[in-house]
Structure 1
Amino acid sequence: MLEENVHCEVELIGETVREVECAGEFPDVPLAVITGGKPPPQWLMSPAAAGARRAHQQALARLSSQGRQVIAQSSGHFPQLSEPSLVLAELERLLEFRTDRARASSPEPGFGRWP
């Protein structure tokens, strides 16, 4: 399964780049970039490439004034597999923020709207 996914990612790089180029400015929304804290093996990725990847993920988190980077200390490339509780906690934090914001802008109690 992993090998199949890697091939799909590689095959679709051009399409992904085109989609990103057409997307326009990133909105100022709550954002979490979850980064694996374990460096990849050097045979897989050079230290320079790993540093560039970390810098790119920091830049992603700065796309929104509400963004933050979360380091999954016990994870490599797949924190959703190695630290699912951390990923779920971050998703819950984002949902709570959204729910609190909807309540604050609701015209009547119990009737939230998505701003």
Structure 2
Amino acid sequence: MKMVPSKLSSSRGSLQYHLSGSGSPPIVLINGGSGPIEGWMRILPEIATVSTVFAYNRFGVAGSDKPSEAQDGLTIVETLREALSIVGLQPPYLLVGHSLGGLYANLYARSYPDEVAGVIFLESSHPKDLSLEQYQGKFVKKINKLLSIFDSWSPHKAFSEVHFVDKTVEQISERNLFPQIPIYVITGMKENRIVPEIVQKKRLEHQLELLSLSTNHKHIPAQQSGHFPQLTEPSVVIDAIKACMNEINH
């Protein structure tokens, strides 16, 4: 399936999006940091047979406009809500958040619990993942600092969401409790030799902590996957989405 994105004009600028399928609740795919909608290509055709599917590129990604303001979590959530309204999709939604997109799904569900029917946390970031930076080597930390200096020379890069993860996590902590809705946590279990063992162990603990957000939860290990199960084990992700949809509709 070739993705040919359309464009919508929001109050904050122009966004690329892809809309397919029909049915409810609409499935909303929330990319990881700087990820394009093409990252969903291996699951999108199949889940579009189940319901309406909305995917989009956030500001600064691919053909969407560059951001003109700080891209913290609440700004991203409000932009998404406006985009969904513009294309005519009504809540509640099933949110599928990959990596950093999981933080936005978390924040959306807390901020607007009546608008979210369920959440798939796909190799999702956890607020506590910020603490894993302490295990980075000195070389990695120096490179990151150097890159942040370069980013500050460009106003658009300075507004990038990656610079506001701390703020997004703070916004999550300030919000109401997560609603009692179905959640599925999909975790890539394949070992990454580049990542320190302690980081992998802590991150798995954080993944399991996501289950405590709702009493209605299920953990799905993607045994052959790293950080992108939607590419390496698409059937695992597809089955989880279908199962959650079935639970919501029954």
| Interval containing the TM-score (normalised by the shorter chain) | 0.7 to 0.9
Unaligned stretches of 5+ residues in structure 2: 1-31, 36-99, 101-156
Structure with larger RCO (C-alpha < 8 A, sep 6+):
1
Q: How does 1:98-109 map to 2 (within 5 A)?
A: 98-100=248-250
Give me the CA root mean square deviation: 2.3
SS in 1 for 2:218: strand
1:81 partner amino acid: L
TM-score between both structures, scaled by the size of structure 2? 0.36
Q: Equivalent residue for 2:202? A: 52
Q: Is the 8 A contact 2:189 2:225 kept in 1?
A: yes
Counterparts of 1:62 and 1:27, CA distance in 2: 11
Among the aligned pairs, what percent are the same residue?
A: 32
Q: 1:23, CA displacement in angstroms?
A: 2.4
Counterpart in the other structure of 2:165: 13
Change (3 A) 1:85 1:66: same
Give, in angstroms, the shift of residue 14 of structure 1: 2.2
Unaligned runs of 5+ in 1: 101-115
Match of 1:83 in 2: 233
3-state SS of 1:62 partner:
helix
Matching residue of 2:67: none
Query: Following TM superposition, by how much is the alpha carbon of 1:9 offset from its aligned partner in structure 2, in angstroms?
Result: 5.4
Q: 1:91 to 1:4 in 2, by over 3 A?
A: closer
The alignment's TM-score, normalised by the length of structure 1, stands at 0.73
User: For residues 12 and 80 of structure 1, what CA distance do their matches in structure 2 show?
Assistant: 25
Give the structure with the higher percent strand: 2
Report deviation, 1:62: 2.1
Structure 1 CA distance for aligned equivalents of residues 168 and 217 of structure 2: 22
Between Structure 1 and Structure 2, how many residues are aligned? 97
Contact residue 222 and residue 236 of structure 2 kept, 8 A: yes
